[in-house]
Each structure stands twice: as structure tokens, then as C-alpha cells.
Amino acid sequence: MIKSIYTLVLTLLSPILLTVLLKRKKGNPKIGRRWKEYFGFPTKCNAQKPIWIHCSSVGETIAATPLIRAIKERYPQQDILITTTTTTGAEQASKLSDIAEHRYMPVDFSWCVKRFLKVTKPKCMLIMETELWPNTLTAVSNAEVPIAVINARLSERSCLRYQKFQSVFNLIANCLDKVLCQHDDDAKRFRRLGLLSSKTAVTGSLKFDISISETVQTEGKTLRKQLGAKRPVWIAASTHEGEDETIYKAHQQLLTIIPDALLIMVPRHPERFSAVAKVGGELGLNVVSRTDKSQVTTDVQVYLGDTMGEMLTLISASDICFMAGSLIGEKVGGHNMLEPAALGKPILNGPSFFNFKDITQQLIDEKALTICASDGEISESLIRLFKDPSSCKEMGRNAYRVVERNQGAVAKTVDALESIVSAK
């Protein structure tokens, strides 16, 4: 009954959902003729009985990359198939084309998923984090394909929501063979909802197992020379609508004390690039976009990161990182601040970080992150750190130590998946 109601609601909403998926967004890759894959019509799958790994978008694909490479290293003859929902996720997955195929994830209708399974014939399904779609899970489980959730997290807020619809969660839980959680609190919440203890394990967060490539470091150094090796540079990473003016005002206040400071402004969504540049100009700031390839002269005050897949390079070129998505109440709940931490950068964050509570608290405890609730607090923290380079460097070292001591989740996850992955 519950499944039928869910499917009816999904059917009614599907025109909107498909419009969002298929509509080309400025700056995003095109889906082209591959739109049929959303309906379970993948092009021929060359992989034989692949491990199917689903990563919704860019962030999940990046986080899963070390695990995917580790699985391939342990099982070199095993084929791997990656699915993503978004085109930007697909673009990120293409970087793994040497070891894995990519297809778009079919929409959560049973007939779409069954067709996908018929073509791909996966050995098992690994779901990154919490992309739990009832019809998909039911179809996969009915096909006797084992399902594991990896890098799973469940906030208290999400747990309470599931409790209100316990029957829906029960439907999902019955399909799962393993749930490998990031933290103890996540595992406890899953068990609180009724998931069997035998199905849960804590393997740590894959996001801590970040490996910064030499390419990123080299590109970061090259960019920093272009921006100005000696001028103070800070980055506002992954900003959302409602945060831009706060960030710009903080920068204006910083400029009154440190006139040569430069802000690297990186909107979260590419369709906002032009609007964010316009807001900066309207506030009287001299904004130059990365795609313009214009020379960054000393009078440039804002450098707009209007490209995709270069966040690590942009953070690497900065002295201090403000992680956005954290200034707009409960709309977003923050973003992962482990990338700047892995690069040894001091971190500033807004007061909303419920999606990364554990990571944030560790960074705060190690004096690697400062919470700033307003433009005034952001500018004050920036001025303090830029005026005290030794304190700035120490804060960055503290951040890196947090990442270093939490690493090892990839190895634990591969070990925990052995019974599923190595099964014939």
C-alpha cells in the first residue's frame, strides 16, 4: 500500500523532476542523446557482472573515488559501473574511465530499474551516502542483487523524519544487506529506526581519505603567482543565494584595513555565476572572472571562480577558506570542509553546519575552524589571521592533523564489503 502511494506521488511529480534533470543549466555539461538512460535504456554495457556504485552528484563521486580505485586495486579483474544522477557527476565520473564505465541512474520507477538491471546485470549495488529510493531498492533486492550503503550518514533531523514515516523506512531497510556508517551516532540512529545491528558497521568517513595530487598543488601555486604571490587571498567556497552580499560586505570591510586583499568567490551552482558577478559589481567591487582569462592586476578585488571541478586548485591558491552554505539557516546545513583542511588551510564557517556536525566539532576542538555568524565577524577573523601569519599557519596545521588522524576509512570499507564484492 505504502509503495503504491509513493509510486503514485512520484508519477504525478515526475514531469517536474524530469524537467529539472533534462533542462540544460548554464555551465553544466549536456546530457545529449543519453537522456534515455534515465528511463532504463542504457547503451550497451561492456562490463561483465559489475560492481554497481551509485554516486548522486559531484561531491559523492569525488568522495567515492579513492574507494573505487581501492576496490579495483584489490579486485583487478572485477568490472565497475558508476551511476550518477547529474551531468556534473557524470563529468567527474569520466575521470575514472580507465577503471569504470558510467551510466545515468534510472528514475525511481520499477520498470525503469528492471530494464537497467536486465542490461547491466550487476553483481552488487553500493550506494554512496543516503540515496535510498524505495522502488529502486525493491527492484534490486527482488533481483537478488546485494545492496550496501557506504559512507552512510543519518542526521538527527533525518532520523526524526523517517520516524514519522516508519513504514517507508521499514520497506527500505528490508532491502539492505549492509549499512557502513561514517560515525557511531549515524549507526545508532539507523538502529533506532529498527535496522538490525548485524547489518550496521562503522567504517569512518571516506571524505577524510583525501589525497591531494601533485597536479592540484602545482596548479594552485601557478594560480597564486597569477593572483599575486604576496597579496592576502581568501576564498568563499560554494556560496548559495542569500550569502553573496554577506561575503562581499565582509570583503569590503577587510579592504578598509588590508587594501590589497583579494577574494576568490566560488558560487555553488554554475547557473549563478553571472548573477554573483553582477552583485559584486553593483556593490562597487572590481570583479574578474576566471573564464575571462584576464590579467589579475592589483586593482582587482574579486576573482570569480566560474569553472567546474577546480575547487581544490582555487582553495590551494588561497591563504584562508570560508566554507559557505553555512550562513542561510537550515536551508543547506553547511558543506564539507575537509578539502581546505587537507590542504592545511585555516577555516572559517557560518553557524549552520548540521550536515557536518562531527567534522566541524573536531575542527573547532583542534582550533582549526572559527564560526562566524555575520559579515562583521568574518572580516574580524580575516583581519586577525592576516595580521598574524604564524597563527594563520598554525590553524592550518591543526586542520591538516584532523584529516590525518581520521584517515583509513577506505581500507575499512573495502574489508567490510568483502563478503558482497567477492561473492560469485
pLDDT category at 424 given cuts 50, 70, 90 is low
CATH at residue 318: 3.40.50.2000
Rounded to whole angstroms, the Cα distance separating 285 from 240 reads: 19
Structural domain range at position 350: 214-406
Residues 275, 332 within the same domain: yes
How many residues does this entry show for the chain?
A: 424
Residues 41, 186 within the same domain: yes
Rounded to whole angstroms, the Cα distance separating 347 from 344 reads: 9
Residues 77, 99 within the same domain: yes
Cα–chain center distance at 345 = 19
Q: Is residue 386 part of a domain?
A: yes
Instruction: End-to-end CA distance of the chain: give it in Å, rounded.
Output: 35
Nearest to 290, CA basis, from 219, 357, 382, 388? 219
Residues 254, 204 within the same domain: no
Is residue 19 scored above 90 in pLDDT? no
Q: What sections of 131-213 are H helices per DSSP?
A: 134-142, 156-164, 166-173, 184-192
Residues 60, 193 within the same domain: yes
Residues 71, 40 within the same domain: yes
Q: Is residue 338 part of a domain?
A: yes
Model pLDDT for residues 111-165, shown as the tens digit of each residue: 999 999 999 999 999 999 877 889 999 999 999 999 999 999 998 888 999 999 8
Strand partners, 289: 304
Nearest to 159, CA basis, from 341, 411, 357, 395? 357
Pick the more confident residue, 383 or 26: 383
Percent of the chain topping pLDDT 90: 71
> Within 13 Å and on the Cβ side, how many CA atoms surround 377?
11
Residues 364, 412 within the same domain: no
**Enzyme catalytic residues:** 60
Rounded to whole angstroms, the Cα distance separating 239 from 267 reads: 5
> Within 13 Å and on the Cβ side, how many CA atoms surround 226?
17
pTM over 0.85: no
Flag the least confident range among 37-46, 182-191, 262-271: 37-46
382, 406 Cβ separation under 8 angstroms: no
Is residue 79 scored above 90 in pLDDT? yes
Q: Which three cell numbers stand for residue 361?
A: 566539532
Question: Residue 44: CB partners within 8 Å, gap ≥ 6?
Answer: 119
Nearest to 205, CA basis, from 228, 173, 177, 183? 183
Residue 41 is predicted with a pLDDT of: 83
Residues 314, 395 within the same domain: yes
Total number of domains in the chain: 2
Angle between helices 156-164 and 166-173 (to 10 degrees): 100
H or E, element range at 267: strand 262-267
DSSP strand E in 27-104: where? Answer: 51-54, 80-84, 101-104
Model pLDDT for residues 339-362, shown as the tens digit of each residue: 999 999 999 999 999 878 888 999
Model pLDDT for residues 358-407, shown as the tens digit of each residue: 889 999 999 999 999 999 999 999 999 999 999 999 999 999 999 999 99
Q: Is residue 402 part of a domain?
A: yes
